[in-house]
Structure 1
Amino acid sequence: MPLVAIAASALLLSGCDAASVDLVVGTPTPTSTPRPAGPEAPIAIAFAPLRGTPAEADALRHPSIAVKIDNHWDARPQIALNRADIVFEELVEGGLTRYLAVWHSDVPDVVGPVRSVRPMDPDIAGPFGGVIAYSGGQQYFVDLMHATPLVNLVGDEDDGTLFERADDRPGPHDLVLAAAAAIARNAGLPPPPVQFAYGTADPLAAPALSAVPTSRIELVFSESSHPSWEWDPMTYAWLRSQDGLPDLEASGDRVRATNVVTLRVAVEWPYEEVPLTVLAGAGEAWVSVGGRTAHGTWSKADAGSPVELTADDGSRLRLAPGSTWVELVPNEGSASFAP
């Protein structure tokens, strides 16, 4: 195994929180001609702030882009969900759910379908900084998003250079975004800050966490929305289902995640039929990684702060390096974890 890979793996297994390290790599080259000894140029290795995985530092020097993604059945299959670093699922009107997906370490050329913003989205997207993209929305909700420090890309206001209608999708579930171009246009913005703590590939192994074996996660957002996740040890990933069927993205691959974080949240109704997920304060939480689930609490100090996860023993709940889905399950719903 190359020295770079060995060193990077060792850093991940140590649970190191350092933003980056320099690894000095020297590879002998057989030759009959004597060469003067000298130091090799260091290779800068950083860790993706939204995945905890090693990456080239230069590849991470750009902002993240959060995009409001449709989850109506006519919007499926969505584009490039498996390339997102973090995906939030939230309750919207009619008992349906929508996603707020965040890409940074791997930004696709195109993502979608893109839909309108909701009142809780500023609290979800705010801690990432960078760019937020959505199709539009009620003016009050759009104003709330414009009040954040994020750069707003709004489909209703686009000149046709970033958003377009896909001919092979039914309207209004046909709006797609040129995500890589959107990042290039805003390349001067800083990268996102770290949102979660990362540990080893099996961060729930410590006996003090009392993690229980989990083969399936069943979630109920409403009578019409009840996604589930199955643990697949062959791919070391959680595989998603919706409406009792495997959930596929446009590539044909099953939607998957390394970590599933389930938060119980209050839902209020100050906007008539539009629900408001209250993502501030604290509540019950579960972290599911590697076929296990640990119980704890979540807390979020204010709109600009990330969600913090604390185990029942008071320690910090860590995720495995990789992609994460955050399920914002209403207190009126349910979450169950089958062994």
Structure 2
Amino acid sequence: MARRARPVLGRRGVPLAAVAASALLLCACDAASVDLIPTATPTHEARPAAEAAPVGIAFAPLSGTPADAAALRHPSLAVKIDNHWDARPQIALNRTDLVYEELVEGGLTRYVAVWHSDVPDQVGPVRSVRPMDPLIASPLGGIIAYSGGQQYFVDLMHATPLLNVVADEDDGTLFERADDRPGPHDLVLAAADVVAANAGLAPPPVQFAYGTADPLAAPSLAATPTSRIELVFSESSSPSWEWDPTTYAWLRAQDGTPDLEASGERIRATNVVTLRVAIEWPYEEVPLTALTGTGEAWVSAGGRTAHGTWTKPDAGAPITLTADDGSTLRLAPGNTWIELVPNEGSAAFAP
């Protein structure tokens, strides 16, 4: 609010001689003969000013952005989201804190999308679980939602500490089929209802370290200016990101076409974290992303990219990002996409 200007009090233009004469007369008068104008006596009792209740400010654990502490006291919701071309545009991806993109059968990719600081009413389309999803979601705690899957993969997910919300086990209150989408890419989850019904579960722990809006500026990180990120998961999947300095965000494309969500907005991210991962095949045609151990990593934020390594010692541990100089690779506060690019694929960062 603009501060109101205080009026400047000036002289009335009375001649200086008259002012001086008046002053001499006042000095000559006996103090008792001067009538002082009485001050009005208040007719009400003075009351102390009301004190506003303090508002607790915290930082969202999955995005590093400031938020009302009370609004963060609920679990995160991880959802298996379809990325088949018939599933696009997906619902509410720009309101996620984290999105993990993984290779699935047929050379396509799917997402594990995570909402916590901003939970929408609906998300989707929801698809089935895959064998690497317990490795991705376990460090988050909270809730995991999916449509179903091969029984062995479902059993793996049920063995995690997460609350499983499964369409195959739903009574029809949380999942519904959207009339304007082709099946099986039409399953929508009532996300806000799921979180509200399980609000007593613990909030997620921090997954990544956060810094400033330009966290890669330190010369020791040797970050390079980046205008475009080109990723290849397979012959069928080639997502890319381009840096937009006007919105200070990475804008996503798939197979050379701008990638939109259902709101009509271009899918965007504050950070893009690219991890090179091994792909194993213990389940015949279903690939398994090996997400424990260590590997090559890049963090792209603020129009720069820094190189380093990722480490994840076990299923319950979060991913640790370390720069080539040994320091922690920090992200900018905001949403993050984690690209789990196969070693057989490629990652390129254009200046």
TM-score, normalised by the number of residues in structure 2: 0.87
Distance 1:227 1:40 in 2: 49
**Structure 2 match to 1:60:** 72
Larger mean CA deviation between 40-49 and 205-214 belongs to: 40-49
Is 1:148 equivalent to 2:160 in the alignment?
yes
What is the CA deviation profile of residues 271-320 of structure 1, one whole-angstrom value per residue up to 9, with x for unaligned ones?
A: 00000000000000000001000000000011000000000000000000
The structure-2 alpha-carbon separation of the partners of 1:208 and 1:139, relative to structure 1 and needing over 3 Å to count, comes to: same
Secondary structure of 2:79 counterpart: strand
**Structure 1 match to 2:22:** none
Secondary structure of 2:152 counterpart: helix
**Structure 1 match to 2:29:** none
What percent of counterpart residues are identical? 83
Matches within 5 A, 1:282-297: 282-297=294-309
Q: How many residues align?
A: 310
TM-aligned CA deviation for residue 186 of structure 1? 0.7
- The two structures, once aligned, show a CA RMSD in angstroms of 1.5
What is the CA deviation profile of residues 129-183 of structure 1, one whole-angstrom value per residue up to 9, with x for unaligned ones?
A: 0000000000000000000010000111110000010000000000000000000
Distance 2:313 2:227 in 1: 33
What is the CA deviation profile of residues 178-224 of structure 1, one whole-angstrom value per residue up to 9, with x for unaligned ones?
A: 00000011111000000000000000000000000000000000001
Distance 2:280 2:52 in 1: 59
2:233 corresponds to which of 221, 241, 259: 221
Distance 1:117 1:249 in 2: 22
Identify unmatched segments of 5+ residues in structure 1.
3-32
Is 1:318 equivalent to 2:330 in the alignment?
yes
What is the CA deviation profile of residues 18-48 of structure 1, one whole-angstrom value per residue up to 9, with x for unaligned ones?
A: xxxxxxxxxxxxxxx9653686532210100
The structure-2 alpha-carbon separation of the partners of 1:34 and 1:209, relative to structure 1 and needing over 3 Å to count, comes to: farther
Secondary structure of 1:208 counterpart: helix
Matches within 5 A, 1:26-45: 35-36=47-48, 40-45=52-57
Matches within 5 A, 1:115-134: 115-134=127-146
Letter of the aligned partner of 2:328 in structure 1? R
1:185 corresponds to which of 190, 197, 204: 197
Is 1:241 equivalent to 2:238 in the alignment?
no
Is 1:93 equivalent to 2:105 in the alignment?
yes
Secondary structure of 1:144 counterpart: helix
Is 1:273 equivalent to 2:299 in the alignment?
no
What is the CA deviation profile of residues 86-113 of structure 1, one whole-angstrom value per residue up to 9, with x for unaligned ones?
A: 0000000000000000000000000000
TM-aligned CA deviation for residue 324 of structure 1? 0.1
Distance 1:165 1:58 in 2: 33
Is 1:72 equivalent to 2:84 in the alignment?
yes
1:105 corresponds to which of 117, 141, 147: 117
**Structure 2 match to 1:172:** 184
Secondary structure of 2:154 counterpart: helix
2:96 corresponds to which of 70, 78, 84: 84
Is 1:136 equivalent to 2:148 in the alignment?
yes
Secondary structure of 2:265 counterpart: coil
**Structure 2 match to 1:332:** 344
Secondary structure of 2:135 counterpart: helix
TM-aligned CA deviation for residue 243 of structure 1? 1.4
Larger mean CA deviation between 282-291 and 37-46 belongs to: 37-46
Identify unmatched segments of 5+ residues in structure 2.
3-44
Following TM superposition, where does structure 1 have runs of at least 4 consecutive aligned residues deviating by more than 6 angstroms? Answer: none
Distance 2:51 2:215 in 1: 36
Letter of the aligned partner of 1:182 in structure 2? V
**Structure 2 match to 1:21:** none
**Structure 2 match to 1:231:** 243
Distance 1:120 1:57 in 2: 32
Distance 2:61 2:100 in 1: 17
TM-score, normalised by the number of residues in structure 1: 0.90
**Structure 1 match to 2:222:** 210
